[in-house]
Every structure is written in structure tokens, then in C-alpha cells.
Amino acid sequence: MPETNETLHDRFIELSGPPERGRVVDLRCGAGPALTAFARRFPRAHLMGFDRSEEALDTARERLQHHSGIVELASVDLREQLPLAEASVDAVISSNLLECLPDPAQLLKEIWRVLLPGGAVPFRLRRDRDLRCPCRPGPPGRPRLRRRGSTVDG
């Protein structure tokens, strides 16, 4: 059965389980549907979304304008260093991103850099694309990348 966007967003929330005032980053957030789902469930969470489309970010700003927590949306080139401090976020989410990058391993390194120990990284990969990046065990206390039916050390 195909996964609906609402089901996907609920699954991101379930897998990331941020604290009530946790910091969640959506890489390639688009118009902000996943962040909107987090906003409903965690009204005081600090939500961040990065995308390269200003038009999509404008739509996300409108959707999140009534969120009572902090909202930061920015145009970011995800092939570069993320504009976040080391060990500063509870969860990093994304859908259909890694397989679109020329060097997905570089973004994975950045995610591990900004993620707090014990943080979560629920990602959705397109089934019709091939992801070719080296996956090596990360530092102790780092999360594991999970795919349905398998787990890969991050």
C-alpha cells in the first residue's frame, strides 16, 4: 500500500520523538507539510526548514505563522555545510533528498555533526533511485539510519 504524505509525516514524528521544546530540522522542507505536522503535535518545538526554493519557503512561512514555538526557514544549499552549531538539534528529517545529491555521504557527515547524541534521523528514500554512499559506523551514542526491514549504522 502506498504511503500517504500524512502517514509519512506521522511516521517522522513517531521515529524522531523530539522533546516538547525540541529542535527539529527538515532538509528540503518544501512548502513545510512535515513541519506543519510537527507544529500540530509539538506546539512549542523549535522548527527549522531548509530548502532552495524561496517560493516554497514563503508557503511554509504562511503555514507555520501561528506556531507558538520558534520557526526558522532559510534558503540553503544542502551540498554545503549546514548553518547549525555542532550537536544542536534533536531530529533531522527529510524525504527524497539523499538520492538527489552528488555526494550524499557529505550531507550525512553534516547531519551527524549537528545532531545531539541520541537524536533521530528519519529519512525517506525514493524506491526508484539508487543511493550510493559509504556507510560507516559513527561515533558512540549516534543514531542508526533505519530503513524498513533493515538498519544501517550511521
pLDDT (tens digit per residue) in 94-135: 987 877 888 999 999 999 999 999 999 888 876 554 444 333
> 92 - beta bridge partners?
25
> 46 - beta bridge partners?
23
What radius of gyration, in Å, describes the C-alpha atoms of the chain? Answer: 15
> 93 - beta bridge partners?
26
Q: How far apart are CA 152 and CA 135, in angstroms?
A: 7
Verdict on whether the full-model pTM lies above 0.75: yes
pLDDT (tens digit per residue) in 73-86: 999 999 999 999 99
Are the C-beta atoms of 68 and 2 separated by less than 8 Å?
Answer: no
Cell of 86: 555542532
Sequence-distant (≥ 6) Cβ neighbours of residue 6 within 8 angstroms = 37
**Distances in whole angstroms, Cα of residue 38 to Cα of each of 27, 45, 151:** 14, 8, 24
The answer to whether residue 142 scores a pLDDT higher than 80 is no
Are the C-beta atoms of 98 and 134 separated by less than 8 Å?
Answer: no
What is the per-residue pLDDT for 109? 94
Cell of 69: 514555538
pLDDT (tens digit per residue) in 29-39: 999 999 999 99
pLDDT category at 88 given cuts 50, 70, 90 is: very high
Three-state DSSP class for residue 28:
coil
Phi and psi at residue 129, to the nearest 5°: -115, 155
Q: Which residue do the cell numbers 518544501 mark?
A: 30
Topology (CATH level 3) of domain 5-145 = Rossmann fold (3.40.50)
